[in-house]
Structure 1
Amino acid sequence: MSVSWSLDAEPPATPLAAGASPEAIHTALDEADQVRFRLALDAATETMRRELDLAPVFAVLEEFRRLAILQSDRVAFHRVVRGAAALATGEQSPAGEPFEVTRGKAGL
């Protein structure tokens, strides 16, 4: 894996561009994903400390950066999740179903 941004280089042009800071990623995520992000980043950091390899940290940052981009338009994100759940289950989720239930059906 290659590093897309370092402290001696120019920061990303937009907050969620490649090389986004962990803080920018965290801020852009919904509350439940902020918790998941912190847990994943903690685990990746422990791996980095043990193995002296930054790749796990960068992998977590990139995974959640992409999710943060999807979540930047909450209406579109909910639509995508509902569509993915319908594809996964073969039926539309009920209108009043909690979003996290629908998201679980979608595997997201």
Structure 2
Amino acid sequence: MTTLAAPHERPDDRSLAVGASPAAIHAGLLPEDREAFLTAYGAALELARSTLHLAPVHHVVEEWRRRAVLQSDPAAFRHSVLRAAEFFAGEAVPDDEPFEVTRTRAGL
């Protein structure tokens, strides 16, 4: 019979790749995205609890990990959002457009 080790018995307490823990993802996101992450993560945990399958949690963690990586350099992220919005709109983004509007146009 196989027994599970207690969490305190693991030598490094890391079962996920560096940067893929929910805490690391939350810390790496822009402040305005943290609540949305917690909501998505909570919903995935509830779904995992009801289905006894971790796929929803893995999906949310990976999706938001990628976002956290993109947002790790806020200036570069804003520049990328601006370029994506211009690409999809086919025109320059107005200088006075709020960033959240630009993000929506970029699909981010």
TM-score range (shorter-chain normalised) is 0.7 to 0.9
Does 1:106 find its partner at 2:90? no
Where does structure 1 differ by over 3 angstroms across 4 or more consecutive aligned residues? Answer: 7-12
Taking structure 1 as the reference length, the TM-score comes to: 0.82
Taking structure 2 as the reference length, the TM-score comes to: 0.82
**CA RMSD of superposed structures (Å):** 1.9
C-alpha deviation, 1:75, in angstroms: 0.9
Q: 1:39-62: per-residue Cα shift (whole Å, max 9, x none)? A: 101110111011000010011001
C-alpha deviation, 1:31, in angstroms: 1.6
Q: Give the structure, 1 or 2, with the largest relative contact order (CA under 8 Å, sep 6 or more).
A: 2
Q: What is the letter of the counterpart of residue 76 of structure 1? A: A
- Residues 99 and 9 from structure 1, CA distance in 2 versus in 1: closer, same or farther, beyond 3 angstroms? farther
- Look up the match of 1:23: 23
C-alpha deviation, 1:9, in angstroms: 7.6
Does 1:64 find its partner at 2:59? no
Does 1:55 find its partner at 2:73? no
* Count of matched residue positions in the alignment of Structure 1 and Structure 2: 98
Structure 1: segments with no counterpart, 5+ residues: 1-6
Structure 2: segments with no counterpart, 5+ residues: 1-6
In 2, Cα distance between equivalents of 1:35 and 1:91: 31
Q: 1:53-82: per-residue Cα shift (whole Å, max 9, x none)? A: 001001100100110000001111001100
Give the percent of matched residue pairs that are identical in Structure 1 and Structure 2: 48
